[in-house]
């Protein structure tokens, strides 16, 4: 699971959860087929389709040092009916 960084929980992604769609930030070098394989194995689900896009880089400045924020690719996966991913543990 080195390629998948973390799940995204915003207002838009919470609305997408109702449609059985989940959002994750993944490593920029990861392909859709790699991500599909990882998610299907780790969460034991079947994926209907995957959409991905690269987020724009944002400038960041700390004192005299200029740089950019970390660069990730964001994916939105749609699961087949009857499957779900538990984002929060019940403990």
* Sheet-wide strand order for 47-54: 4-7, 21-26, 73-79, 47-54
- Give the pLDDT confidence score for residue 6 in this predicted structure: 84
d(CA 91, CA 33): 32
Residue 1 pLDDT level (bands cut at 50, 70, 90): low
Domain range list for the chain: 4-79
Residue 46 pLDDT level (bands cut at 50, 70, 90): very high
For domain 4-79, which architecture applies?
Answer: 2-Layer Sandwich (3.30)
Residue 86 pLDDT level (bands cut at 50, 70, 90): confident
Tell me if 26 sits within 8 A of 75, measured CB to CB: yes
């Amino acid at each position: 699971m080195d390629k998948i960084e973390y799940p995204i929980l915003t207002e838009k992604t919470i609305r997408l959860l109702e449609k059985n769609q989940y959002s994750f930030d993944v490593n920029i070098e990861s392909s859709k087929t790699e991500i599909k394989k990882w998610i299907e194995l780790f969460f034991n689900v079947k994926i209907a389709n995957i959409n991905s896009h690269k987020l724009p880089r944002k400038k960041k400045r700390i004192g005299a040092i200029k740089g950019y924020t970390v660069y990730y690719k964001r994916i939105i996966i749609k699961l087949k009916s009857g499957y779900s991913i538990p984002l929060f543990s019940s403990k």
